[in-house]
Structure 1
Amino acid sequence: MSKNLLIGTGMALSLLLSPFSQAFAEEPTTGERKQVENVAHRGATAYAPENTIAAFDLAVEMKADYIEIDVQRSKDGKLVLIHDTTVDRTTDGTGKVGDLTFEQLRSLDAGSWKGEQFAGESIPTFEEILDRYQGKIGIFIEMKSPELYPGIEEEVAEALKERNLDKPQNEKILVQSFNFESMKKMDELLPKVPIGVITSNPADATLESLQEISTYADWFNPHYGMVTEELLSQVHSMGMKMGSWTVRSQETADFLFEMGVDAIISDYPDYVDPRN
């Protein structure tokens, strides 16, 4: 059963029995619209190179609630942040992330492709990001292609435990992946940390699939093209939350606001939070 399901069921029953239940049934106010979690996808990537300090610092400046990061591993065992399994698109190098040493990865320019002002931005380490942003902003940690890196789940879990980020009373942390088996393992390693599954596959949104996912996951995070009121209702009924991705237009952000998702994962934090 989902770690949130029993709590959610209890809250639902209390609201049904409460004289204030009608207040909760009213239409959302303009103020409530801002309560959705604003997750900066790989940082504020519309404006700065993804998965770099520049993008993450900008996300903090733009008052995002979370940054979303992609974790992989170098040839010599260092946990690093990069989205693609190769360095070709976002650096001036070539090759697979797992075939390059940390020294080789660190020497690459991960910023110039986005603009000359970002020249010299480097690939950060997972530990650097935890240390720099712990207490400043929440972190959605995506395990990127963990099947390529045996044992990476234990390494990520250990880094979080060393910083006391494996307990819910600490800073906002969530671990997620497209690899559901990896997330089952993370739930065992970090039983108090919220776990999420990411998908663009409608087969994962069937009632049977959702029930199975809810046994280890706290978040079901689909592509926005999958989001419907019915799906969101089913996800919530199983004690899970929903974060949807990837928002690159105000129209998409507005759609997800209207649907009532719990988090919007966007390259543009300003599309989610009107304060920016």
Structure 2
Amino acid sequence: MTEIDVPRVVAHRGSSAAKAEHTLGAYELALQEGADGLECDIRLTRDGQLVCMHDRTIDRTSTGTGVVSEMTLDELKQFDYGKPGEPAEILTLRELLELAMDWTSVPVKLFIETKHPVRYGGLVEAKLLAELSRFGLATPASASFSRVVVMSFAASAMWRIRRSAPLMPTVLLGETSRYLGGAAAHTVGATAIGPSIMTLREHGDLVDRAAAAGRATYCWTVDEPRDVELCRELGVGWVATNHPGRTKLQLVTAPGV
């Protein structure tokens, strides 16, 4: 198996098995562990700031409570988002972009998921592209050379990105991505499909079908070694995992060794 056949490893919310998800420490560790990409979810605060947060509330991941879209960034910063003994502030997308762009050892890709449905609708994608423009990342020369990939379970979000930034690579996540025959991914111009590992176990032909349509495959969340091997065997392009270091080590080792 050549190096190009090995899936690239994306740190799901950072190295989130070891560190609190979506924290600066989780992403710093992922980079140190050799992750090829960093994945994050973004939401808009009440004052229009993009923060890295999966849930619509901060209840599960912080010492506070409340809905992200109903709070300002300053209000969100009042709480701790780290693990016990490892305090951490809420992370903004800008801070994550700065970390990724400053990492000079090996260029890494940022996989940014916009969450829907949300009260701000398409403003999320508009704000995202504006933020990417600040870093010169909104208009890549080609999809292949883009440092950013935008993802969503919402086909409408993918269409908005396609319309405003036609060369930005995109991943249509979830079950919708299965229906290539129904042209969902084609209609919104997605350059990749994003099935879960559970879907991929049952529909391994997805990878070849996507490739035949000119699309890559991004699979989430691949934590079990047997699933990592499955992705390798099927030819998945990118695997998102909470264990980037362990997964990277497994993939650089020949199968069966």
Letter in 1 for 2:130: E
Go from structure 1 to structure 2 and tell me whether the alpha carbon gap of 1:57 and 1:171 turns closer, same or farther (over 3 Å shift).
farther
SS in structure 2 at match of 1:67: strand
Match of 1:218 in 2: 191
| 1:253–1:271 Cα contact (<8 Å) kept | no
Match of 1:159 in 2: 131
CA deviations on 1:70-108 (whole Å, 9 max, x unpaired) are 110111111111111100000001111111111111111
SS in structure 2 at match of 1:236: helix
Q: Distance in 1 between matches of 2:219 and 2:59?
A: 27
Go from structure 1 to structure 2 and tell me whether the alpha carbon gap of 1:146 and 1:154 turns closer, same or farther (over 3 Å shift).
farther
Match of 1:246 in 2: 221
Answering whether residue 97 of structure 2 is matched by residue 125 of structure 1, we say: no
Letter in 2 for 1:148: R
Distance apart, 1:145 and its partner CA? 2.3
5+ long unaligned stretches in structure 1: 1-27
Q: Distance in 2 between matches of 1:255 and 1:204?
A: 19
Match of 1:178 in 2: 153
Distance apart, 1:220 and its partner CA? 0.3
Match of 2:168 in 1: 193
Answering whether residue 207 of structure 2 is matched by residue 232 of structure 1, we say: yes
The match for 1:206 among 176, 179, 184 is 179
Distance apart, 1:250 and its partner CA? 1.3
SS in structure 1 at match of 2:139: coil
SS in structure 2 at match of 1:109: coil
| 1:40–1:265 Cα contact (<8 Å) kept | yes
Question: What TM-score does the superposition give when structure 2 sets the normalisation length?
Answer: 0.87
Match of 1:4 in 2: none
Q: Distance in 1 between matches of 2:75 and 2:114?
A: 21
Match of 2:50 in 1: 79
Distance apart, 1:212 and its partner CA? 3.2
CA deviations on 1:158-206 (whole Å, 9 max, x unpaired) are 111121102334652100011110110011111111011110x2x5413
Give aligned pairs, total: 240
Distance apart, 1:271 and its partner CA? 3.4
Go from structure 1 to structure 2 and tell me whether the alpha carbon gap of 1:271 and 1:254 turns closer, same or farther (over 3 Å shift).
farther
Aligned-residue Cα RMSD (Å) equals: 1.9
Go from structure 1 to structure 2 and tell me whether the alpha carbon gap of 1:271 and 1:74 turns closer, same or farther (over 3 Å shift).
same
SS in structure 2 at match of 1:174: strand
Pair member with larger Rg: 1
5+ long unaligned stretches in structure 2: none
Indicate the percent of aligned positions where both proteins have the same amino acid.
Answer: 28
Go from structure 1 to structure 2 and tell me whether the alpha carbon gap of 1:144 and 1:256 turns closer, same or farther (over 3 Å shift).
same
Query: Relative to structure 2, which stretch is displaced further, 43-52 or 136-145?
Result: 136-145
SS in structure 1 at match of 2:113: strand
SS in structure 2 at match of 1:93: coil
Distance apart, 1:60 and its partner CA? 0.4
Q: Distance in 2 between matches of 1:45 and 1:75?
A: 26
CA deviations on 1:224-253 (whole Å, 9 max, x unpaired) are 122234211111111110010101221221
Match of 1:54 in 2: 25
Question: What TM-score does the superposition give when structure 1 sets the normalisation length?
Answer: 0.82
| 1:43–1:50 Cα contact (<8 Å) kept | yes
| 1:176–1:198 Cα contact (<8 Å) kept | yes
| 2:197–2:220 Cα contact (<8 Å) kept | yes
Go from structure 1 to structure 2 and tell me whether the alpha carbon gap of 1:222 and 1:181 turns closer, same or farther (over 3 Å shift).
same
